[in-house]
Amino acid sequence: TIRESADTGSKTVAREAERIRRRELEEGLNGIRRQRARLFSFASQEWLDLKRSVLSPRSVQIEQANLKHLTPHFGSKLIGDIEAGDISRYQQRRIAEGAAAKTVNLEVGTVRAILRRNRLWANVQPDVHMLNVRNHVGPAISPAEEGKLLAECGASRSRSLYPAVTVALATGMRYSEIRLMRWKQI
């Protein structure tokens, strides 16, 4: 038994308040959650706003770039109406536009995150397939090519090019790792 006040003197208003409150309690006890019909464009913006506090600034930029491609395709759809076929058509369209499979997979990952946030991914997940990505890294640089590269770097006007390339060749570090490296890390 739950006793609450309707804060009214009107029996009609009190009955309506009681009916609404009973419905809320029944839904809560049975784990029923009402789903608001929302457009993908609004749901995606809400998701990104929530993620800003936990993502790095660069990751936020990547997600914004993903949404620039996703919004024209899904933006006017209700999130509950997005089906696996819509995602498949999106993948095909992006590949036809010349996007790399890995890029398209990252964009579909953004759709997945938005749908998961709204408890809708489980409905489409079994029928969504990520694109195959090439993992071939290419041939290694030969000793002769390495010598030519270092000779050209040494002849460059840039004083930092030769040491940076030498560090990259010796360690396998990426450009951003070398550029952001501090003396205390050496």
When pLDDT is cut at 50, 70 and 90, the band that residue 1 belongs to is: confident
At residue 28, the pLDDT reads 72
DSSP 94-115: HHHTT--HHHHHHHHHHHHHHH
- Over residues 147-181, the pLDDT tens digits come to 999 999 999 999 989 999 999 999 989 888 998 88
Note the pTM of the prediction, 2 decimals: 0.61
Structure tokens at 80: 């509950």
- Rg, Å, the chain Cα set: 27
When pLDDT is cut at 50, 70 and 90, the band that residue 32 belongs to is: low
Give the residue, 123 or 109, on which the prediction is more confident.
109
| 3-state SS assignment for residue 78 | strand
